[in-house]
Amino acid sequence: MSIQAILLPLFVEVALTLGLLLWMATVRRNDIRSGAVRPAQIALREPNWPTRTQQIAYCFSNQFELPVLFYLLTVLEIITRHADLIFVVLAWIFVIARLAQAYVHTTSNRVMWRGSIYAVGALVLIVMWVIFMVRILLGLP
């Protein structure tokens, strides 16, 4: 597997995170400028932002939960030279699930859909980690 093929799903996940960061910063700036929220109302991380802004902020925050384990696994797969086609396919499924969850989170925010998509991504990530651990512990290629 080429390093580009291995890292491309990770780059897409990073782009999602950075895109959400920029979006969140823009809507927060607009909320403060418009007077929808005053700095004193959110100075200690109180959730006093307008609902739409909170929705985007929570979606951004979610990118520091499961994806952290994905980032770590990708690096470990590269270092140990265990990244293969199975890893890349599962990585893309994980990232597509993250994109879909972010879409639902920032649009309709239907909790059941969002939770189901989250579960798919979590299950795929668990499978990825189990495969990696078994290969490492059993000395498999």
pLDDT at 122 over 90: yes
pLDDT at residue 6, as a whole number = 98
Give 109's DSSP letter.
Answer: -
Q: Would you place residue 45 in the very low, low, confident or very high pLDDT band (cuts 50, 70, 90)?
A: confident
pLDDT at 1 over 90: no
In degrees, rounded to 5, the angle at the alpha carbon of residue 45 between the alpha carbons of residues 118 and 32 is 100
Distance in angstroms (rounded) separating the CA atoms of residues 95 and 1: 18
pLDDT at residue 141, as a whole number = 87
Taking phi over 0 as left and psi of -120 to 50 as alpha, with beta for the rest, 68 belongs to: alpha
Are the CB atoms for 97 and 30 separated by under 8 Å? no
